Amino acid sequence: MMPTMNPTPPVEAEKDTEIDLLDLLVVVAENAKLLIVAPLVVGLSTLAGAYAWPSTYESVSVLSAGEPTSAAVASCDLGRVDSATTLVNPAVVGSWATSGDLLAPVLKELGLFKDKSGEEAVRLAREMVIVSVGKQDKLVTLTTAGETPQAARQLNQRVLDQLVQVSRPAGPQKAALQFQLDGEKTSLAAALALEKTLGNRLSGDKPVTEAQSRVYSDLLRSKSAMLANVAQLQLRLEGLSASNVVQAPSLPERPVKPRKALVAVAAALSTALALLVFVLARQGLRNAASDPATAGKLQRIRRGLGLRG
């Protein structure tokens, strides 16, 4: 019988195809100057160029525009309402701040985007005006951008001024709200007078019927609803005011864009990575060209791409 021979694994072939870490380190060491100096030059050049880029500053203001609380309604009477609380939905205030009807007069007053059409100017202005509403406190945060600190704060203040104007009803809407308010006040006055009469009767020595007690309870509930309606109508007529501004527009000290150091570091790292890939790929092609088994394939690739050599 012929002895069986176990095939030996192609150790040499495996070694040829494996990436030798030492060879990679040799390639990196041989190109160390290129991999270090070039990224530094690109990073410093980018940093120097970043100082020539236009800066962007942001001014921030905070506005309180929450609906009236039960405490505010309870403290309401016929002639007084807590002015620190307004009946304006914060989400509505946010939509007002970025609406074309509000931004158009602001842009005209400040002379921004004069060379643009109305629609294009409003679109560009929306990129400079950012509104956010707090989930818990319902505070409206208004952030505006400008090329200078003064320009950013001025834009923020003008948007706030327009918000106050837009929030106040005018014309037929104001007349209708005033008519409703007068009617609610009349009803409330009559309810208060009736409450006093029934209260005096219930507190007297005369026996109280069940119907009288029920009427008195219903009257108290109706009075609470009337107080709430009066408070809401008064606040809707007043709209927003300076008392609703929690934080006035800030004057920024540092630009938010461009972030010069971050841009320079990103440029240097990108250059270093690109050069490292280039150096390793070039060395790999050189090694492949010296191997007869792959030299023919490289030659075919060159011919297919129309390259000489």
Q: How far, in whole angstroms, is CA 53 from its chain's centroid?
A: 24
User: What does DSSP assign to residue 242?
Assistant: G
C-alpha–C-alpha distance, residues 279 and 273, integer Å: 10
Distance CA 246, CA 93 (A): 15
User: Which helix (H) or strand (E) element contains residue 60?
Assistant: strand 57-64
Helix, strand, or coil (residue 25): helix
First to last CA, the chain: 56
CA–CA separation, 118 and 267 (whole Å): 38
d(CA 124, CA 131): 15
How far apart CA 98 and CA 90 sit, in angstroms, is 13
pLDDT tens-digit series, residues 192-233: 877 777 777 667 666 666 776 777 777 777 777 888 878 777
Per-residue burial over 193-216, b if 16 or more Cβ lie within 10 Å, else e, is eeeeebeeeeeeeeeeeeeeeeeb
Residue 68 has a pLDDT of 47
pLDDT band of residue 144 (cuts 50, 70, 90) is very high
Q: What is the pLDDT of residue 86?
A: 47
306 Rama sector, left if φ>0, alpha if ψ -120 to 50, beta otherwise: left
Per-residue confidence (pLDDT) for residue 207, from 0 to 100: 65
**Position 156 pLDDT exceeds 90:** yes
Closest CA to 83 of 230, 248, 223, 239: 239
Q: Is it the case that residue 57 has pLDDT exceeding 80?
A: yes
The rounded distance, in Å, linking the Cα atoms of 39 and 46 is 10
Neighbours of 286 (CB within 10 A): 10
Query: What pLDDT shows up at residue 141?
Result: 93
Write down the pLDDT at residue 106. 93
For residue 234, pLDDT beyond 80: no
CB 152 within 8 A of CB 110: no
For residue 189, give both structure tokens. Answer: 């006055």
Kindly list the strands in the beta sheet with 139-146, ordered across the sheet, starting from the edge strand earlier in the chain: 129-133, 139-146, 57-64, 245-247
- pLDDT of 261 reads 82
